[in-house]
Structure 1
Amino acid sequence: MSFSAVTTPSGCRYGNGRGPKVLMVAGDSHAAAWAPAMETLANQGRFTLEYNTRDSCSIQDRGLTGESTEVPSCLRWKKNVVAKIKKNPPDVLLLSYYTYTKPITLAAHEAAMRDLLRQIPRYTQVVFIRDTPRFSDDVMQCLQQNLDRPGACAVLRKDSVDEQYFPINKKLAKEFGAKVLDMNDYICDANYCYPAIGDTTVVKDAHHLARGFAQKMTPALLAELRRIGILR
């Protein structure tokens, strides 16, 4: 089966069921980007982890208002994920997606997210993972040309971090009792976001985290999950 025909959520599980809570991650490749750290924590027995992600297929119905046309198989996949959540609600549902893919208006985004949140059982604690920064399309070439000064490839935080859709998610979080997980302070300072930190490459392209960096973020992710009250 080709990827474009995938409609069944993978439901990959980690942690051997030893964790006191079931955490589900749902979304596109940006949700999958945190897998190395999430899997490590699950294998430590901190929670049972389930991943339901599909590349280029955000979890909310972006075609709800008619402004955007959804790929039929992607739309079926989304509906199947939501049905799975309703049938076996996880303790925690972490949502993330790439905000720059086929941008829609803020009103359409809010309508799509509100529709999704209304379908999630109240038993489940929803967490919005803020999207990671976007770098220039030639960021990897820039890093190769600036091995001794990767800071030359940094981008302005105000230009690379989502400041449009995220405030809507924060607003909806208050309304629906959701939480927000923002890891961008580990990638950016007050002014710039960095594609490499020390000897670690942060991204593998303009907007996907590198696996090695995500793995190194395990302690930070644990700290942030504790800070927002998901883990003790």
Structure 2
Amino acid sequence: MTALAADLTHRWIEKPISSQNYSSTQIFRASTIATLTCSLIGISILATDQSSISIGNGRSVSISAIKAKPDVYMDGCHVNNGEVLSPECTYGDLSASKTIVLYGDSHAAQWFPALENLAKDKGFKLVSLTKSACPAPEVRKVQVGAYKNADCFKWRENSIKRIKQLRPDAVILSGYQHFQVPSQYQSRSIWWAEGQRATFQHLQGLSPKLIYISDTPKPSRDIPNCLASNGGAKCNENEKSDPQISGNFIKVNPTPWLCTSNCPAVVNGIVAYRDASHISVDISRALSPKLGTVLADLGLL
């Protein structure tokens, strides 16, 4: 980049100036413009170079595609801090008699692409009830920034009222379990299990199938950035989440779908994570058949 700037400056500034009579002010202005132009060219080149990621076998994928979020974000259906009521967002076959609810935080919402595919293909209504930083287990979290426990509990209360009205054929729940554990708890497992049991008690009797998907692996770093910077093996150092589920939920553990002895960044040629936390939209869709098999075995498809 330095060599490029030097070449352009010499070619378009120094050579012309050496054969002309310009004032010092004119020379300064011209030099400044040249420097800014070179900087912008450099930024453009860098952006172009980092717009895609090589995933082997001569294949590459767009970073923006990897980092894309599920449609519930763009549709305004995934609510955020300060919001306590999910809008009425229904997907799939709107004329179907069968209804499945997706309930929880962004780690529930990450399964939306898989479930939307199934809803369209198999013919059921999919109702999305998700909110950032508010996992389905009724845990009280350490309050940080704009997050408020009171908002989460009010949102959960409103969502459960909605589920009670819908009486869906199934509720599929999940949640990010790697939040900071409040100091009054001796362990993460005790804290998380308490929240899961409370949620089960509130949902019991509202649907015949209460299905809990345990949390996906926790990436050790931002995976798209790691791959873009040729992080190599470091990109595969991702932590398996504890699949323990308390309460009489129907249990689904997605870890074998994403991991073997380790949890790689790229699974079956697909970048598995969109950031340092969530699975990508593409891998969610790719896992639709596996989730579909689970639902079919439960008589839901």
TM-score of the pair, normalised by structure 1 = 0.81
* Higher RCO (CA < 8 A, seq sep 6+): 1
**Which residue does 1:60 correspond to in 2?**
137
Whole-angstrom distance in 2 between the partners of 1:93 and 1:28:
14
Q: Cα distance, 1:123 vs. partner?
A: 4.8
Any idea what SS the aligned residue of 1:122 has? coil
**Which residue does 2:254 correspond to in 1?**
183
Structure 2: segments with no counterpart, 5+ residues = 1-75
Any idea what SS the aligned residue of 2:81 has? helix
Whole-angstrom distance in 2 between the partners of 1:71 and 1:217:
32
* Match status 1:216 vs 2:286: yes
**Which residue does 2:171 correspond to in 1?**
93
Alignment counterpart, residue 5 of structure 1, candidates 60, 70, 82: 82
Bigger CA drift: 13-22 or 217-226? Answer: 13-22
Q: 1:201 to 1:20 in 2, by over 3 A?
A: same
Alignment counterpart, residue 132 of structure 1, candidates 207, 216, 224: 216
Q: Cα distance, 1:108 vs. partner?
A: 3.1
Bigger CA drift: 21-30 or 67-76? Answer: 67-76
Any idea what SS the aligned residue of 1:208 has? coil
Q: In the alignment, is the contact (CA less than 8 A) between 2:93 and 2:123 conserved in 1?
A: no
Structure 1: segments with no counterpart, 5+ residues = none
Q: Cα distance, 1:37 vs. partner?
A: 1.4
Whole-angstrom distance in 2 between the partners of 1:83 and 1:56:
20
**Which residue does 2:236 correspond to in 1?**
154
Q: 1:192 to 1:119 in 2, by over 3 A?
A: same
Q: In the alignment, is the contact (CA less than 8 A) between 1:94 and 1:128 conserved in 2?
A: yes
Q: 1:126 to 1:211 in 2, by over 3 A?
A: same
**Which residue does 2:41 correspond to in 1?**
none
Q: Cα distance, 1:137 vs. partner?
A: 1.9
* Match status 1:38 vs 2:110: no
Question: Percent same amino acid among aligned pairs?
Answer: 23
Whole-angstrom distance in 1 between the partners of 2:124 and 2:131:
22
Whole-angstrom distance in 2 between the partners of 1:114 and 1:12:
27
Any idea what SS the aligned residue of 1:161 has? coil
